[in-house]
Amino acid sequence: MKINKLGSPEKPLIIAHRGFSEIAPENSMAAFESAANAKVDMIECDVRLSKDNKFVILHDSKLDRTTNGKGNLRTKTLNEIKTLNNGEWFSNKFRNEKLVTLEKLLKWLPKSIILNIELKPDVLSSSEESAEIKLVELLNKFEMSERCIVTSFNHKKIKTIKELNSKLTTGIIFNPIKNFRNSPSQLCNRFNADIFICNKHQLQSEVVEDAHKNKYLIYVYGVKSERDVNHAWQFKVDGIIANDPLFVKQALQKINILSSI
Ligand code: G3P
Ligand code: CA
């Protein structure tokens, strides 16, 4: 793992959650392009499979909330969803946004940005080849394994992905209901992951210390306010995942300036 590229407490990575989703519809090209314009270190996106096993960027299992389509993505072919509107729910300005395939995102990704592919926990392939195999094959085919990290709430999927390609950096996302008895190092060790990801409410000094002592990185999500950024900085996280990455950048610059006086 290229640990220096994946953040440190001195310089936490700024990670755009579902793209720059504060100013553009989540998981849309507009949100990804805005994140690139804000010069983020990493872009996070949510990945699912269509009925014909194409990776599509969508958070919910259903199309209803963020597109003008209805029903489960996994019951539709790519052809059936390719003309859906993927942005009008956010603002009329984004009425021309379409759903994005992972292939398109990989082809577009600027060289300076790492892609955080969150494989949604319930993603199932409709063919014999599992979603994990398909994802690793796609990343291999596009020679993107060293420019992407794969994360999930489904830790078994993460373990499988690492078994399929040991060069891929992986992260497990903490589930407070299923994992409450486990420390970051126990989970990362069990599922062979490199990064522990939790939300701002789960961030405690013991959590960060346990991760770092055992050479795992720690990212925090749900960061919204200046207070959240200050907390993340004080707790020495390696990456900050936020809908508004520019705000995080500005808040961090402020802290750095203040601390260097
Ligand atoms: O990376 C963590 C975060 O993306 C998980 O939550 O619901 O936004 O996918 P969610
Ligand atoms: Ca996500």
Q: Ligand 1: which of 17, 153, 158, 196 to mutate, judged by most atoms within 8 Å of the beta carbon?
A: 17
Q: Ligand 1: which of 158, 170, 221, 223 to mutate, judged by most atoms within 8 Å of the beta carbon?
A: 221
Average pLDDT (49-68) is: 98
Q: How far is CA 192 from CA 46, 66, 71, 96, 185, in A?
A: 21, 33, 35, 41, 10
Beta strands in the chain (DSSP E): 13-16, 42-49, 55-57, 100-101, 114-119, 148-152, 169-173, 195-199, 217-221, 239-242
Q: What is the dihedral of CA 100, 103, 60, 221, to 10 degrees?
A: -100
Tens of pLDDT, residue by residue over 101-128, are 999 999 999 999 999 999 999 999 999 9
Tens of pLDDT, residue by residue over 8-51, are 999 999 999 999 999 999 999 999 999 999 999 999 999 999 99
Average pLDDT (196-205) is: 96
User: What's the number of domains the chain is made of?
Assistant: 1
Q: How far does residue 19's CA lie from ligand 2's centre (Å)?
A: 10
- CATH code of the domain covering residue 23: 3.20.20.190
Residues 20, 33: Cα–Cα separation, whole Å: 8
Say what the pLDDT of residue 85 is.
Answer: 97
Q: Ligand 1: which of 46, 217, 237 to mutate, judged by most atoms within 8 Å of the beta carbon?
A: 46
C-beta atoms surrounding 114 within 10 Å: 22
pLDDT band at 1 (very low <50, low <70, confident <90, very high): very low
pLDDT tops 50 at residue 193: yes
Ligand 1 atom index nearest CA of 151: 1
Residues 23, 38: Cα–Cα separation, whole Å: 11
Containing structural domain, residue 211: 3-260
pLDDT tops 70 at residue 257: no
Shortest-distance Cα residue to atom 10 of ligand 1: 59
Pocket of ligand 1 (CB under 6 A): 17, 44, 46, 59, 118, 151, 173, 197, 221, 241
Q: How far does residue 170's CA lie from ligand 2's centre (Å)?
A: 14
Counted residue by residue, the chain has a size of: 261
Shortest-distance Cα residue to atom 4 of ligand 1: 17
Average pLDDT (153-181) is: 96
Shortest-distance Cα residue to atom 3 of ligand 1: 221
The structure's pTM equals 0.96
Burial of 220 (0-12, 13-18, 19+ CB in 10 A): buried
Q: How far does residue 259's CA lie from ligand 2's centre (Å)?
A: 32
Ligand nearest to the CA of 242: 1
Q: Give percent of the chain above pLDDT 70.
A: 97
Nearest in space to 244 (alpha carbons), one of 258, 219, 260, 223? 223
